Amino acid sequence: MGFVEYEVKGAYAVITINRPEALNALNSGVLDELNSVLDSVDLNTVRCLVLTGAGEKSFVAGADIGEMSTLTKAEATAFGKKGNDVFRKLETLPIPVIAAVNGFALGGGCEIAMSCDIRICSDTAMFGQPETGLGITPGFGGTQRLARLIGPGMAKQLIYTARNIKSDEAFRIGLVNAVYPAADLMAEAEKMASVIAGNAPIAVRNCKKAINEGLDLDMDDAIVLEEKLFGDCFESWDQKEGMANFLRKKDDPAKVKHVTFKNE
Ligand code: CO8
């Protein structure tokens, strides 16, 4: 493993794309390693992930333009599928993923951030889909996820103009949830990961599933999906103890305690 670092920090873990000499651009090697790292996450112990880029300048500056430049149509389609498969694995991982965008998030970099559940960024971050300036379309899900996240009108404007935007504009249009001074970004991301990891893991997973899968359904079916995932929580120790703890607190405030959820 050289292009992707994986560090477990208790109940959450940090994945770092580590190719700073190319601003963490995604070549086949990076995508293969990221795929392996995602497969290796121990979902019994790790309850949330943070994804970031190595170095101070870039999160991910896109797919590797050198590698793409000589591809045939068939090879380009296959490369697009390779990236899409990894990004979809990230998006559908049972546990939440926070993108800590610490610099350039261009092309495939913006697309991988959009495959995460939550995006926060440094005040130095820059987002964009520069592909039409390179003679291609976004190919790792950008046309789909950007339109879903910020609406088709704004997504079309950004993609057709290939204009990069700074962190304040990314915040204003809802592409990121929060902007922090660069020096504080990782601490803030890890603080959020720790909070998420402290909540009932089965409930958090079911929320992710309900939101992700429900968005592709009409409201009648989406509500049925939520009912099922809600009901499933009632087979968990975490639900029984979480609610019992609340009731104990009501009886006697001295009994206040933090529930250490068991993921069972
Ligand atoms: N691919 C390959 N190498 C890159 C990339 C990239 N996307 N971005 C930066 N690098 C390399 C540079 O070539 C340079 O390498 P070297 O030192 O060997 O010359 C090194 O990183 C540092 O980059 P710069 O010297 O350019 O740094 P600057 O600070 O001057 O500029 C920028 C930083 C503005 C980020 C600039 O590097 C840049 O514009 N990069 C390209 C950004 C871009 O266009 N990204 C989108 C790529 S297309 C894409 O992601 C499509 C995804 C879907 C693919 C589907 C395939 C079918």
Q: Where are the domains of the chain?
A: 4-197, 201-255
Q: Which residues line ligand 1 (CB under 6 A)?
A: 22-23, 25, 61-66, 68, 76, 79-80, 83, 104, 106-108, 130-131, 134, 138-140
Residue 1 has pLDDT above 60, yes or no: no
Give the model's confidence band at 26: pLDDT under 50 very low, under 70 low, under 90 confident, else very high: very high
Residue in 23, 24, 58 to alter for ligand 1 test, most ligand atoms within 8 A of Cβ:
23
Give the model's confidence band at 121: pLDDT under 50 very low, under 70 low, under 90 confident, else very high: very high
CA pseudo-torsion sign 37, 202, 140, 52: negative
Order of strands across the sheet that contains 118-122:
4-9, 12-17, 48-53, 97-101, 118-122, 178-180
Catalytic-role residue among 33, 91, 111, 190: 111
Distance from Cα 62 to the centre of ligand 1, integer Å = 6
* pLDDT in the model for residue 253: 72
159: closest CA among 181, 129, 126? 129
33-47, 188-202, 241-255, range with the lowest pLDDT: 241-255
Class of residue 42 by CB neighbours under 10 A (exposed 0-12, middle 13-18, buried 19+): exposed
Distance from Cα 61 to the centre of ligand 1, integer Å = 5
Whether the Cβ atoms of residue 27 and residue 64 lie closer than 8 Å to each other: yes
Report the DSSP pairing between strands 12-17 and 165-166. Answer: unpaired
CA pseudo-torsion sign 216, 219, 221, 225: positive
**For ligand 1, atom 19: residue with the closest CA:** 22
For 171-174, which contacts have Cβ atoms below 8 Å and span 24 or more sequence positions? 171/121, 174/149, 174/150
* pLDDT in the model for residue 166: 98
Residue 150 has pLDDT above 90, yes or no: yes
Domain 4-197 = CATH 3.30.200.20: no
Residue 179 has pLDDT above 90, yes or no: yes
Count of C-beta atoms within a 10 Å radius of residue 91:
18
Distance from Cα 19 to the centre of ligand 1, integer Å = 12
Residue 75 has pLDDT above 60, yes or no: yes
* pLDDT in the model for residue 41: 98
**Contact residues for 152 (Cβ-Cβ < 8 A; gap 6+):** none
Rounded to whole angstroms, the Cα distance separating 262 from 264 reads 5
CA pseudo-torsion sign 233, 238, 241, 244: negative
* pLDDT in the model for residue 249: 80
Rounded to whole angstroms, the Cα distance separating 58 from 157 reads 24
Mean pLDDT across 243-264: 82
**For ligand 1, atom 30: residue with the closest CA:** 23
Residue 13 has pLDDT above 70, yes or no: yes
Using N-to-C axis directions, what is the helix angle for 73-91 and 28-40, rounded to 10°? 30
Residue in 65, 85, 87, 145 to alter for ligand 1 test, most ligand atoms within 8 A of Cβ:
65
* pLDDT in the model for residue 256: 63
Residue 129 has pLDDT above 60, yes or no: yes
pLDDT in tens, 89-112: 999 999 999 999 999 999 999 999
Distance from Cα 33 to the centre of ligand 1, integer Å = 20
Rounded to whole angstroms, the Cα distance separating 85 from 93 reads 12
Rounded to whole angstroms, the Cα distance separating 33 from 30 reads 5
Mean pLDDT of all residues in the chain?
96
The question of whether 75 is a catalytic residue gets the answer: no
Q: Identify the H or E element spanning 132.
A: none
Fold of 201-255: Lyase 2-enoyl-coa Hydratase; Chain  A, domain 2 (1.10.12)
Residue 10 has pLDDT above 90, yes or no: yes
